[in-house]
Amino acid sequence: MSWTSAAEIAMAQEIQQSFERKSKPTLYTVEYAVRSLSARALSGDYYDFLEIGAGRMAFVLADISGKGLPAALLMASLRASILAQGPDAFNDLPQTLKRVHELSYESSPPGHFASLFFADYNEPAGCLRYVNCGHVAPLLFRDDSQVERLESTAPLIGMLKNWDGAVQEVALKPGNVLVMFTDGVIEAKNSAADDFGRDHLIQIVRNRVFLRPASLAETVIQAVQVFSNFRRQDDMTVVVVRVR
């Protein structure tokens, strides 16, 4: 029986769905939600919400190169590498992600890599520390309608032998909304081969920024689907975090 048999694909889907946490970290000052759609039976997008200390949690979003089963296998490997580090390891984000990179580089076929956004939210300090490993820049919507892009601070995971990253920090205040997403959102194309685009995403979020995270994430996904005539060209994931 080959890996492409329906029974084994169904089993792989079941395993991948089990990655969804039955309980998620809860903090007083943030509300968050995720909406994800795969282009094929299995997804190469990875998202997670991790408890990493008292009053702290991590938001993780990664996009594996490729689609389908190969991407799903690499996604599972990346997830295992991150979880194996343990909560205390994330006090030193660059060193921890360097270890994750080394594991991915050694165990992945040539030409396979992942973009990764890893953010550590410290509730008492109202501070978000992050490392962006070649991931499409998340958007931070301030309460004065200004939008900040959390740009890349490190290379892609698993692509090059040598890896070095830097941590950036931003203050999060009540009313701020952070939108993280994979490139399948802004690179979705319509019948004229136009991209959905970052500006379109910003406009949609601005017009619906009052929605709760689950509704806002769903609104974005629905807008992309309508734009692309419901053709799933790539995996799409949207994570919305609201500070309250």
Q: Give me the mean pLDDT over the 211-218 stretch.
A: 98
Q: Give me the mean pLDDT over the 230-244 stretch.
A: 94
The pLDDT mean for the chain works out to 90
pLDDT surpassing 90 at residue 33:
yes
Q: Give me the mean pLDDT over the 27-52 stretch.
A: 90
Residues 171-200: tens digit of each pLDDT: 999 999 999 999 999 999 999 999 999 999
Phi, psi of 98 (to 5 degrees): -65, -40
- Of the listed ranges 4-13, 104-113, 134-143, the least confidently predicted one is 4-13
129 Cβ contact partners less than 8 Å away, ≥ 6 residues apart: 93, 119, 120, 122, 167, 168, 169
pLDDT for position 17: 62
**How does residue 110 score in pLDDT terms, banded at 50, 70 and 90?**
confident
Query: Would you give the distance in Å from CA 205 to the centre of its chain?
Result: 17
23 Cβ contact partners less than 8 Å away, ≥ 6 residues apart: none
pLDDT surpassing 90 at residue 22:
no
Q: Give me the mean pLDDT over the 196-214 stretch.
A: 97
pLDDT for position 66: 78
pLDDT for position 65: 87
pLDDT surpassing 60 at residue 4:
no
β-partners of residue 121 are 57, 128
pLDDT for position 100: 95
Architecture of domain 27-243: 4-Layer Sandwich (3.60)
195 Cβ contact partners less than 8 Å away, ≥ 6 residues apart: 186, 187, 188, 189
Give, as one character, the DSSP assignment of residue 157.
Answer: B
Residues 66-79: tens digit of each pLDDT: 777 778 788 888 99
C-beta pairs of 201-210 under 8 Å, 24+ apart in sequence? 201/139, 202/139, 202/147, 205/139, 205/141, 205/177, 205/179, 206/141, 206/145, 206/147, 209/141, 209/177
Say if residue 211 is exposed, middle or buried (CB neighbours under 10 Å; 0-12, 13-18, 19+): middle
Q: What are the Cα distances from residue 44, in Å, to 79, 183, 237?
A: 11, 12, 10
pLDDT surpassing 50 at residue 1:
no
| Residue 32 vs residue 161, higher pLDDT | 32
Domain chopping of the chain, boundaries? 27-243
